[in-house]
Structure 1
Amino acid sequence: MGSSPPPPPPPPQIAQLLSQFPVIPKPDPDGPIPPQTPIPIAAPPPLMLALTPELCDALHRELAPSPDDDAFFARCLRQSQLHLEALAAQLRPNSSAAPSLPLPPPLPPLPPRQEMQLPRDSGAGGSDPSATKKRARPAAEMVRVANLTPADHLHYRALVRRARLTFEALRVAYQRQEPSAGARNRVDLRASSRMLSAGHWLHREVRIVGDIPGVLVGDAFYYRAELCVVGLHTAPQAGIGYIPASLVNEGHPVATSIVSSGGYLDDEDTGDVLVYTGSGGRQRNRLDHHADQTLERGNLALHNSYLYGVEVRVIRGHVCDQSPNPNRKVYVYDGLYRVVSSTFGPGKSGHDVCKFKLARLPGQEELGSKSWHTAKQLNDAMDSRIRPPRYISLDLSKGAEVLRVPVCNKLDDDRSPLLFEYTVRPEFPVPPAHGPVRRQRGCHCASGCGSKCRCERKNTGGLAYNEDGTLVMGRPVVYECGALCGCPMTCVNRVTQRGMKHRLEVFRSNETGWGVRALDLIPPGAFVCEYGGDVVIMDDHSGNALMEDRSIIDPKRFPERWKEWGDGSAVDPSIRGPQFAEFAGPGYLLDVSQKRNVACYISHSCTPNVFLQFVVRGNEDERYPHLMVFAMETIPPMRELSIDYGIDGYLSAS
């Protein structure tokens, strides 16, 4: 073994200090006892050392904690290092900010077990979701998910969708139980707590560093509690989610995610670079600090992520007036960031704060928050009748829809959507005045419909829609008020008749040909659009000949995805849905060879974000229900819509 290199000489200031005091060697315990000669004690000469950044750097290295140090003592050393960093930054010339010093001696690297394949059965706590638990205890296992196949991605995306459907079903059900509680009724926390106790939080058997399988960059959430349910964040209220020291073999807490809502005076955000202020020292709903922050809990964990080089999931909170959250926030997952600096010192309020600078890792999908900005620019251009580049039409419907439907093609010169006649809804045949036709009688509610409304009573299990117009529960068929009813168009039971409320656009895609994407934030359970085309009546003489050389949509081939919407009985049996009567289903096909609308360009997916719901209005014939599309989850702007057509590989009419 070669000899180790000699240690570097001490800085001049420390060498000067050592020369003033002689070093007395430690006596040999086995040697002779030296004579006890008294040492004269004299006052040392006054020593004045200039405080320089180099001296702060030297002391910073001397204060580096050892892996064998007590946890409390090591925490004190790290806090002293942060003070020295801030002091050194102030002493450096032309320094307006407080940059961090070079890394101190690195902490031991995370063990190789961080690169692991997540077990496919770890979705709902790694256990049987039907088994009730008092508390799902997290295991001390920290992994980074790697080497997922396309089938794995679909599997975990389906798990995330199922968890979000369950959360939303519980939240809405609890909200209906206590509607008068308002903002004080934290039904989101109640729903997530119920899911946690039942073992339905995702990935509770492991603590994942890095991306969460099944969660996409740009996914939007209305509640922090929902972030915890899917495993994206670990704290329903705290801004820093971290793995506690007791679950890390090295004995140091490590941060894995942050929620940045711009709630601190020292926060800065340019998208790819984020300056995040630590927690503490601030009163509720105040921007400035009233006390110093401390390097503990989440702040210490985020500092350790800087020392370890552990990537952090960043979720940004945005103000959204349409959010059902009392805080009027929506939370967007913006991908993985690396903590590139950690500083401690006076902030803009005069108190000491922990500041962390994070830089977004390259090679990820476009920043989710940037997509929102892009959608807003497009909407502003449409409102001003300005055609953006590569848009072949500002309105495919030519004014037929309530909202414009622009068409974008940035790939080639295909203009085929402009060649079809646009129809908002199908024209169903007028039934004979007398005959064996089951028609619905309208109501006579003059001011608005309620529990006594004749149309509402047909919807087994209560109201079909919430006050905000979202669907309460999926059903074989929803009965709305119709043309012969006495209620106004503002009636809560006339949601789909008022037309589209969320902007959509048709766009050219490499993956799906022509597709549809949202230009607005679409809440879960919201009405999106209706399928339109020529109605073709099926009988014994029609069949394969009818299908030839035509673009056909068969309503009966859509899977019953409506069964997944609004059903939280797997977690809380007390909100089990009613038993619905048998519904024969549509007796027609839609031919979209000549006439079609925006819905006909929605692409197929095994993990869709919209689903089909049959709707019958007033006295309409039940054999001809409308084919209505509803959102299955929160759909962010610029996200493509997808529906399950019932056959793998089945494509839309494009």
Structure 2
Amino acid sequence: MDEGLCQNPVPGSGFVDKTRIVEAKPLRSLAPVLPKSLQSSLSGQYPSVFPPFVLCEEPQESQPSPAPIPAPIRSYRNPVDEEETPHGAHGGTCSPMKDLNGKSEDADSQKRAVPPMNSCNLSQKRSKKTKESQLDLSSSVGISVALRDDGDREVVNLVLMTFDSIRRRLCQLEDSNELNTMMAIKRADLRASTVMTSKAFRTNMRRRVGAVPGVEIGDIFFFRLEMCIVGLHGQSMSGIDYMVVKDEVQEEQVALSIVSSGVYDNNTDDDDVLVYSGQGENFNKKDKHVLDQKLHRGNLALDKSWRRQNEVRVIRGLRDAANKNAKIYVYDGLYKIQDTWIEKGQSGGGVFKYKFVRLPGQPSAFAGWRSVQKWKTDSSTLRTGLILADLSTGSESIPVPLVNEVDNEKGPSFFTYFHSLKDPKPFSSVQSSYGCNCNKTCVPGDLSCSCIQRNEGDFPYTANAILVSRKPLVHECGPMCKCFPNCKNRVSQTGLKHQMEVFKTKDRGWGLRSLDAIRAGTFICEYAGEVIDRSKVNENWGYNDEYVFDTSRIFHPFKWNFEPSLLEEISTNISSEDYAISSPLIISSNNFGNVARYMNHSCSPNVFWQPVLYAENNQSFLHIAFFALRHIPPMAELTYDYGCSGQAEGSSAPKERNKCLCGSSKCRGSFG
């Protein structure tokens, strides 16, 4: 570890420029660890270049100050960053922790690992001034002191959405080279976590045994740090999270949660049983001899939990189909350890094994995911309720099954499957003929690209096709542009990328869901259909028609973009989230349409719509694209807010609305 990271311009310590990003040990926990030199000298006062949490180990000796490094091009002030950790790293058998260069830690460095600490105790050690500063910062974006310790569903979603919005923004800046290359970190999730932690923008910081308020069984996470900031699993790298509990007799450490990466654990045929391997290397590479795992730290906590029979949260890791080098984590609920034993590992050393058994009566999570994978990979697997193998009749590159597991209805009303707009009308507020002159593909940061200029100088998508921010209008490249059809600025024109399924709901007709996990900001589909005039919308057909989308409806406001104050961005060029559509766009999917016609309404939706504009045939056309509001687990119904139609033309009475059956705790009672 480069000792300069922990040094500070404080009396009694050396001075090193904090703007330099250096190598650090992998982050094991979000619990802050202050060097002794800082603990004795700071006295509650943090230098302006430090966040309130300094995540590093105590330096061994001082080093001369390096030459200063220029600030980033854009007005983004870098916080102090932690070291990157491998995505999905697991602290189980034969899983040495590695640094950025891929080097394994030696035994001494593992001994220096800090055990989990109680966030409440840590907060008591901070100075009053620092606490007040953090209260002001976090309350300005909507988290109270009480909700930091004990959250609920709404605040958990807020924290996760805020984390991902910051991560997307950092990816956007890095893709466009607006973060200094010497200061940029390839893992934007680590930087986003640093920002969230430094501002105390977290929830469920009070560590606990059992369920975590606001986190539901089946929730998915694309980053280990997402689980940390909502209190589900406090270790960013280790697979075992534990704490010390005290009773009338003694105090001992017990396990709170485990992450099963699926690499070292023996997954049995029973999805409700998991055989988990203990943590620690059992082969000493330095002396080249076999070692037995030790009954300490996480292993000892698991042993104590077996004896006490306390509940342990289990998170299962599965390979991400969209990124073979990454994992998706699903919260599988509460388990108890039924048995433990020692067996020989691959190297010959003793490995602790723990048999986890899932508590009955919990909703399906991992088991359901496994069933979906079988349907996708094995066509011979019986799919209950399958009516039609492909509703799109070949129009989509990925078949869209039609399924009814509720009653005997054989399918929805007839319509012609159409992938985009039929009879579209030119968008009047933008010049009809335009297109960029980019060679092959548009490059983020290239301000000579006319399409990037129309997006206020920002590339609207990250490198992996994730929408960065909601905008009044997103300008995509189209057939009029000289860039290749696979340009990354044509996300909404590429058709379905996930395995969709139209299914019969219990009480709301037909619905839409995905067999794949969907990441926040991912394009789902376009709202396809016939573009109709306002004059064709009347009392008998139009607003009351369930297959009409109207941009002039009143939609419930919500915030999805990053909070500039959290990133300390000085730039005033922050795009509004209010849509700017000069004239209403009304689309009917009654006769022509695609899977979007089956998305039901919800007052707490997981999908939102975004106006997208691009040119074709020497004219510009407006399209409605749907994106994931947050991470969506497989088999979860896709829903968006239908909005309200307001008053009928020439009438003071509001139009009749439909009763809402979304079941959300925030249900408004009606829609349409």
> For this structure pair, what is the TM-score category when the shorter chain's length is used for normalisation?
0.5 to 0.7
How has the CA–CA distance of structure 1 residues 312 and 284 changed in structure 2, closer, same or farther, with 3 Å as cutoff?
Answer: farther
How has the CA–CA distance of structure 1 residues 238 and 566 changed in structure 2, closer, same or farther, with 3 Å as cutoff?
Answer: same
How has the CA–CA distance of structure 1 residues 187 and 593 changed in structure 2, closer, same or farther, with 3 Å as cutoff?
Answer: closer
> 1: distance between equivalents of 2:449 and 2:213?
45
> 2: distance between equivalents of 1:584 and 1:284?
65
How has the CA–CA distance of structure 1 residues 546 and 638 changed in structure 2, closer, same or farther, with 3 Å as cutoff?
Answer: closer
> 1: distance between equivalents of 2:543 and 2:601?
21
- 1:193 equivalent in alignment to 2:194: yes
- 1:172 equivalent in alignment to 2:165: no
Specify the alignment match of 2:95 in structure 1: none
Runs of 5+ consecutive residues of structure 1 not aligned to the other structure = 1-124, 144-154
- 1:557 equivalent in alignment to 2:557: no
How has the CA–CA distance of structure 1 residues 283 and 607 changed in structure 2, closer, same or farther, with 3 Å as cutoff?
Answer: farther
How has the CA–CA distance of structure 1 residues 345 and 404 changed in structure 2, closer, same or farther, with 3 Å as cutoff?
Answer: closer
Specify the alignment match of 1:395 in structure 2: 390
> 1: distance between equivalents of 2:289 and 2:533?
70
2:531/2:586 contact within 8 Å kept: yes
Specify the alignment match of 2:416 in structure 1: 421
> 2: distance between equivalents of 1:606 and 1:437?
33
Aligned partner of residue 251 in structure 2, secondary structure: coil
Superposed counterparts of 1:120-131, under 5 Å: 128=135, 130-131=137-138
1:395/1:406 contact within 8 Å kept: yes
Specify the alignment match of 1:406 in structure 2: 401
How has the CA–CA distance of structure 1 residues 185 and 494 changed in structure 2, closer, same or farther, with 3 Å as cutoff?
Answer: closer
How has the CA–CA distance of structure 1 residues 348 and 293 changed in structure 2, closer, same or farther, with 3 Å as cutoff?
Answer: same
Identity value in percent: 36
1:439/1:621 contact within 8 Å kept: yes
Specify the alignment match of 1:488 in structure 2: 484
1:609/1:643 contact within 8 Å kept: yes
Q: Report deviation, 1:458.
A: 0.5
How has the CA–CA distance of structure 1 residues 473 and 142 changed in structure 2, closer, same or farther, with 3 Å as cutoff?
Answer: closer
Give the counterpart letter for 1:192 in structure 2. S
Specify the alignment match of 1:547 in structure 2: 542
> 2: distance between equivalents of 1:630 and 1:517?
13
Specify the alignment match of 1:501 in structure 2: 497
Specify the alignment match of 2:623 in structure 1: 626
2:426/2:621 contact within 8 Å kept: no
Give the counterpart letter for 2:450 in structure 1. R
How has the CA–CA distance of structure 1 residues 375 and 131 changed in structure 2, closer, same or farther, with 3 Å as cutoff?
Answer: closer
> 1: distance between equivalents of 2:496 and 2:284?
39
Specify the alignment match of 1:515 in structure 2: 511
> 1: distance between equivalents of 2:137 and 2:149?
26
> 2: distance between equivalents of 1:545 and 1:338?
58
Superposed counterparts of 1:31-42, under 5 Å: none
Specify the alignment match of 1:330 in structure 2: 328
> 2: distance between equivalents of 1:524 and 1:597?
22
Give the counterpart letter for 1:277 in structure 2. S
How has the CA–CA distance of structure 1 residues 185 and 596 changed in structure 2, closer, same or farther, with 3 Å as cutoff?
Answer: closer
- 1:359 equivalent in alignment to 2:357: yes
Give the counterpart letter for 1:453 in structure 2. C
Specify the alignment match of 2:299 in structure 1: 299
Specify the alignment match of 2:434 in structure 1: 441
Give the counterpart letter for 2:332 in structure 1. D
The TM-score, its normalising length taken from structure 2, stands at 0.66
Count of paired positions? 503
Specify the alignment match of 2:340 in structure 1: 342
Specify the alignment match of 2:587 in structure 1: 590
Specify the alignment match of 1:600 in structure 2: 597
Aligned partner of residue 552 in structure 2, secondary structure: helix
Give the counterpart letter for 1:160 in structure 2. V
- 1:275 equivalent in alignment to 2:275: yes
Q: Report deviation, 1:330.
A: 1.8
Q: Report deviation, 1:280.
A: 1.4
2:460/2:468 contact within 8 Å kept: yes
Superposition RMSD in Å: 4.0
Q: Report deviation, 1:490.
A: 0.7
Specify the alignment match of 2:568 in structure 1: 573
Partner of residue 534 from structure 1, selected from 515, 530, 536: 530
Give the counterpart letter for 1:567 in structure 2. F
Give the counterpart letter for 1:193 in structure 2. T
Q: Report deviation, 1:483.
A: 2.3
2:267/2:273 contact within 8 Å kept: no
> 1: distance between equivalents of 2:302 and 2:424?
65
2:282/2:350 contact within 8 Å kept: no
Specify the alignment match of 1:609 in structure 2: 606
> 2: distance between equivalents of 1:378 and 1:267?
19
Specify the alignment match of 1:202 in structure 2: 203
Q: Report deviation, 1:424.
A: 1.6
- 1:239 equivalent in alignment to 2:246: no
> 2: distance between equivalents of 1:404 and 1:164?
32
How has the CA–CA distance of structure 1 residues 360 and 183 changed in structure 2, closer, same or farther, with 3 Å as cutoff?
Answer: farther
Q: Report deviation, 1:186.
A: 3.5
Q: Report deviation, 1:448.
A: 1.8
How has the CA–CA distance of structure 1 residues 375 and 436 changed in structure 2, closer, same or farther, with 3 Å as cutoff?
Answer: closer
More off after superposition, 611-620 vs 622-631: 622-631
Specify the alignment match of 2:123 in structure 1: none
Specify the alignment match of 2:223 in structure 1: 223
2:609/2:626 contact within 8 Å kept: yes
Q: Report deviation, 1:182.
A: 12
2:424/2:530 contact within 8 Å kept: no
Give the counterpart letter for 2:277 in structure 1. T
Aligned partner of residue 412 in structure 2, secondary structure: helix
How has the CA–CA distance of structure 1 residues 573 and 446 changed in structure 2, closer, same or farther, with 3 Å as cutoff?
Answer: same
1:254/1:304 contact within 8 Å kept: yes
1:436-484 deviation per Cα after TM superposition (whole angstroms, max 9, x unaligned): 8753622232422232211221012500112211112211111011222
1:534/1:591 contact within 8 Å kept: yes
> 2: distance between equivalents of 1:222 and 1:483?
34
Aligned partner of residue 516 in structure 2, secondary structure: coil
Aligned partner of residue 417 in structure 1, secondary structure: coil
Give the counterpart letter for 1:361 in structure 2. L
2:314/2:332 contact within 8 Å kept: yes
Aligned partner of residue 208 in structure 1, secondary structure: coil
> 1: distance between equivalents of 2:524 and 2:264?
37
> 1: distance between equivalents of 2:383 and 2:598?
21
> 1: distance between equivalents of 2:455 and 2:265?
51
> 2: distance between equivalents of 1:191 and 1:248?
41
Specify the alignment match of 1:466 in structure 2: 462
Specify the alignment match of 1:98 in structure 2: none
How has the CA–CA distance of structure 1 residues 317 and 429 changed in structure 2, closer, same or farther, with 3 Å as cutoff?
Answer: closer
Partner of residue 157 from structure 1, selected from 149, 153, 160: 153
1:517/1:638 contact within 8 Å kept: yes
Normalized per residue, the structure richer in helix is 1
> 2: distance between equivalents of 1:248 and 1:132?
38
1:25-61 deviation per Cα after TM superposition (whole angstroms, max 9, x unaligned): xxxxxxxxxxxxxxxxxxxxxxxxxxxxxxxxxxxxx
> 1: distance between equivalents of 2:549 and 2:256?
46
The TM-score, its normalising length taken from structure 1, stands at 0.68
> 2: distance between equivalents of 1:534 and 1:157?
38
> 2: distance between equivalents of 1:408 and 1:270?
26
1:424/1:532 contact within 8 Å kept: yes
Superposed counterparts of 1:104-115, under 5 Å: none
Q: Report deviation, 1:617.
A: 0.7
Give the counterpart letter for 1:638 in structure 2. M
Please identify the structure whose Cα radius of gyration is greater. Answer: 1
> 2: distance between equivalents of 1:315 and 1:181?
35
Q: Report deviation, 1:570.
A: 5.0
